[in-house]
Amino acid sequence: MTSHTGRVGGEDAVANGRRSYGWSMALDTEELTEAVPRLYRYALSLCRNHDLAEDLVQDTVLRALENAGTFRGDSSLQTWLHRILHHRYVDTVRSAGATSTPPEDIAELVDQRWHDDSYTVDAEQVVLLAERDNELRDALAHLPVTYRSAVVLHDVEDWTAAGIAEIHEVSLAAAKQRIRRGRMMLVDELAAHAQRHADLKGVPMRCWAAREKVSGYLDGDLSQPERHALELHLGGCPTCPPLYAGLVGVRNGLERLRDPDTVIAPALAGRLRSLRTGA
């Protein structure tokens, strides 16, 4: 794998896999190598984290090599690899417990909202945010993973609904529904982002920029202009102050664990002395 330049070294990923699995491969090495950059782009669109995206691609290649004998060519190699990565990421998200609300419940709420004739959004603001890569990726990140995957595969990676059905291992109708619902969820998320921007009008710094600096603020590492900007943000943002208070409380709790009167047990002290003296 390479540094975070938006590309992943396919040769390196495959070579690492061949070293990990000493048997001869039933897969076309050149085709597998050529598939890696597209896999990486898909992974990065799913998780927005370069390290995790690289790990997902590496794991996908390793799993593909490990199970090379099971690839029968019923679907394309790209489809098979994307299926492995998709399921691997779904498993990662589920094990992390990223959301307490089941994805299908979220989808039903979206359907109910869009069924309401009175429901609408500020289209101008939604389109404006959709033209900004960071805003669009932020909104995508809030979609449940199966719907995020469907939208990314269809509208970013140009897969057909039939291809997505193969990757997700669902019916064609279910794949089309995931695309439809995913698009609606994305509009809703962008509309929510637009409202948040309106609520934060005049407040300096974006929330992530502020949250990233809080630890430095607590440790006294920020310059005076940075401290001032962060304090202004905390004074006007509706969501960051509770997070800041939580960080302060956690740090204070950790500091209480520091016991200056800790005494080493005599038995341990004796063993340490014997190690030091060689006795």
Task: Report yes or no on 65 lying in a domain.
Answer: yes
Residue 91 shares a structural domain with residue 107? no
In a domain, 80, yes or no: yes
pLDDT at 180 over 90: yes
For every residue of 145-207, DSSP letters joined together read HHHHHHHIIIIIS---HHHHHHHHTS-HHHHHHHHHHHHHHHHHHHHHHHHHHHHTTT--S-H
Give the gyration radius of the chain's Cα atoms: 25
**End-of-domain residue from the set 96, 126, 154:** 96
pLDDT higher than 50, residue 20: no
Per-residue pLDDT, averaged over 46-59, amounts to 92
- Other beta carbons within 10 angstroms of residue 215's beta carbon come to 12
Token pair belonging to 174: 């279910």
pLDDT bin (cut points 50, 70, 90) of residue 269 is confident
pLDDT digits (tens, 9 = 90+) for 188-244: 999 988 887 777 777 777 787 888 888 999 899 989 988 988 888 888 888 888 988
Residues 189 and 223 placed together within one structural domain of the fold:
no
Which residue is it, tokens 């076309």?
28
CA 79 to CA 135: how far, in whole Å?
Answer: 29
State the pTM of this model: 0.69
Does residue 46 lie within any of the structural domains? yes
Say which residue the tokens 């199970």 belong to. 67
- Distance, CA of 180 to CA of 243 (rounded, Å): 34
Cβ neighbours of residue 9 closer than 8 Å, sequence gap 6 or more: 1, 2, 36
Domain that includes residue 231, residue range = 207-256
pLDDT > 50? residue 24: no
Number of structural domains in the chain: 3
Same domain, 195 and 112: yes
Looking at the structure, tell me whether residues 193 and 110 fall in a common domain.
Answer: yes
What is the CB-side half-sphere exposure of residue 90 using CA atoms within 13 A? 18
Contact status, residue 275 vs residue 269, Cβ threshold 8 Å: no
